[in-house]
A = this chain, B = another copy of it.
Amino acid sequence: MRDLMTDRIEQWKAQGFDPNNCPVRMVLDHVAAKWTSLILLELEKEPQRFNALGRALPDISKRMLTQSLRDLERDGMVRRKVYDTKPPSVEYSLTDVGQSFMAPFSQLLDWAEKNQRHILAARSGYDKL
């Protein structure tokens, strides 16, 4: 793809197009992050602590849980509150922005449920070839 594309990209950049600063991709990166939306979904039910999230999402590693939470915090979707108990406990919750994300996101999930069978059917049809 780097054929004669390179100078075209240069052109786009000159015109102000930057793939790394594109609103579409910016959100997509979150939804695309595999875990972040699952975490958001958990936090919408109720604010939760680190290990509680780990239990709710059993197949995420601590490493990725930490990283995903940091990403969400960085983008202002999730709030991290440390309570100075012993041992200290950390509660994660949705911010208003994070909360507002849930509306369009749940539409997507509705679509998912409606079309699940179609997709599964298409998939097994394709795999039979």
Q: A: which residues have CB within 8 A of B?
A: 1, 5, 8-9, 12, 19, 23-29, 31-34, 37-38, 41, 54-55, 58-62, 65, 73-77, 97, 100-101, 103-105, 107-113, 115-116, 118-123, 125-127
Known: A32-B32, A41-B24. A119 touches B97 (CB 8 A): yes
Known: A1-B61, A59-B19, A100-B111. A76 touches B28 (CB 8 A): no
A interface secondary structure, majority: helix
Contact between chains at B123 and A76 (CB < 8 Å): yes
Distance in Å from the Cβ of A21 to the closest Cβ of chain B?
Answer: 9
Distance in Å from the Cβ of A42 to the closest Cβ of chain B?
Answer: 11
Contact between chains at B75 and A119 (CB < 8 Å): yes
Contact between chains at B126 and A58 (CB < 8 Å): no
The interface residues of chain B lying within 8 Å CB-to-CB of A121 are 76
Which residue of B5, B32, B76, B97 contacts A58 across the interface (Cβ within 8 Å)?
B5
Distance in Å from the Cβ of A36 to the closest Cβ of chain B?
Answer: 9
